[in-house]
Amino acid sequence: MASRDIPLTNDATLNPQFRPDRRRLLRSAAAIAAGVAAGQSVQAVAAPAMPSAVSLPPATGALGNRKIVGYMLAHEQFPVTQLAEIGETAAKAGFGLLATSDHLQPWQANERHSGEAWVTLGAVGGRLSPAWMGTTVTCPILRYQPAVVAEAFATLAQFYPGRVFLGVGSGEALNEQAATGQWPKWQERWDRLVEAIGIIRALWAGDRVSHHGTYYTVDAQMTDSPPKPIPLLTAANGKKSMRLAGQYGDGLVTDPLTWQKFKSEWQDGARQAGKDPDQMPVLVEQYVVVGDQNEAAKAAELWRFGPKAFKQYFNIPDPSAIEQRADAEVPIEKVLDAWAVGADPAIHIAKLRELFDSGVTIVNVHSGQPDQRKVIDFYGRSVLPQFAT
């Protein structure tokens, strides 16, 4: 196969080996975005001489804009052996997608667990057919190198072709800083993420990759490419990151509030890159409790960090410190504001319909209560049939 010099891109779709003035970067972005998204070889304009920027087309695979109800396998809260059982039960109940968190440590110390997500996916994949499975999200910039991420998910796809997706994001200190001692500023983390996405896609294409970038050097070929396209969903939790996720991802991973506030940023970013956002998957995580307010309050104690997770706590490397701050700063009522709580199926059906009507295509149900089977059985009997296609 041919050697591929892959792009070294940043938020203006230009090569970060070169650091022209940001205004010039932004002026040139519109001129090259369509060609980059279409997989053409293009030259940057109004900027220093650049090598060709080559981008691979999106690989939404069979996900597309299908409406799917998924289920969260929370590595923070449960040991991996139990997660395997939870995943199997959820797939049999009719959940069409199983997502896993990918952490070195839990967000809060009282969650008590943090198994390796890729190992779990490999172990449970055979039990989940025909459900999709993947991470929300893997950070391919420090703790994991992008070439290793590409190989791991290509391998998963060999076992489970057409059922694997990869969610990527710019990380949290409790994983990246804790594992490597490094925790760059937001802009560098996103520059790294964009460069990593290019490497992953190029390796998946099967060409020999010769890449000497700002952050990564890769000279390798992946001889076992994914047998079917792996959708690469990009996570975002703010205005700037939503636009970038639209530009560089095949789909989106976010939360309901961010989607509500910055949906147009993601759509504009996708269109700027020549993509149709209406044909792309959008996954949001929706917390639920099947029970009363007392049960909800107990579950919320483990996920108390949520309202400030990506405003403040993502910069804290110690789960005990996050737990202490969340206890002091976040009232339980604030945590529960956006949760679907109750034993009436109508409450849960209405929440899912609200999200689907807003343009979300995948609602990933996440319950923090200890009895996961109760939630899965309830949804399987009383909620999922309302969304069967």
> In the prediction, which pLDDT does 63 show?
86
Mean pLDDT in the chain? 87
pLDDT above 90: residue 176 = yes
Calculate ∠ Cα 305-309-310, nearest 5°. Answer: 170
Q: What is the pLDDT of residues 265-314, one digit of tens each?
A: 999 999 999 999 999 999 999 999 999 999 999 999 999 999 999 999 99
- Helix, strand, coil in percent for the chain, rounding step 5: 45, 15, 40
* Distance separating alpha carbons of residues 387 and 120, to the nearest angstrom: 28
pLDDT above 90: residue 232 = yes
Tokens of 139: 């950070």
Q: What is the pLDDT of residues 57-91, one digit of tens each?
A: 444 456 889 999 999 999 999 999 999 999 999 99
Element (H, E) at 293: helix 293-300
pLDDT above 60: residue 219 = yes
Cis before 137? omega within 30: yes
User: By three-state DSSP, how is residue 352 classified?
Assistant: helix
CATH no. for 58-387:
3.20.20.30
Percent of the chain surpassing pLDDT 90: 82
User: By three-state DSSP, how is residue 174 classified?
Assistant: coil
Lowest mean pLDDT among 14-18, 153-157, 340-344: 14-18
Residues β-bridged to residue 367: 288
Q: Are 191 and 259 in contact (CB under 8 A)?
A: no
Calculate ∠ Cα 3-5-10, nearest 5°. Answer: 155
Tokens of 149: 């991420």
**Tokens 């579950």, residue located:** 299
Over the Cα atoms of the chain, what is R_g? Answer: 20
> In the prediction, which pLDDT does 7 show?
46
pLDDT above 60: residue 117 = yes
> Please, which residues have CB within 8 angstroms of residue 344's CB and are 6 or more apart in sequence?
none
Q: Taking residues 330-348, what's their average pLDDT?
A: 97
Greatest Cα pair distance, the chain, in angstroms, is 63
Domain boundaries, the chain: 58-387
Q: Are 76 and 106 in contact (CB under 8 A)?
A: yes
Element (H, E) at 99: strand 97-100
Q: Is the dihedral of CA 150, 152, 153, 158 positive or negative?
A: positive
Cα dist. 270→245, 247, 275, 296, 318 in Å? 8, 5, 5, 37, 35
Residue among 289, 371, 340, 383 nearest 86 (CA): 371
Q: What is the DSSP string of 197-211?
A: HHHHHHHHTTSEEEE
Q: Taking residues 332-343, what's their average pLDDT?
A: 97
Q: What is the pLDDT of residues 179-206, one digit of tens each?
A: 999 999 999 999 999 999 999 999 999 9
Active site residues: 103, 172
> In the prediction, which pLDDT does 304 show?
97
Helix axis angle for 345-357 and 372-382, nearest 10°, is 70
Q: What is the pLDDT of residues 33-64, one digit of tens each?
A: 333 233 332 222 222 222 222 234 444 456 88
Lowest mean pLDDT among 14-28, 98-112, 290-304, 314-328: 14-28
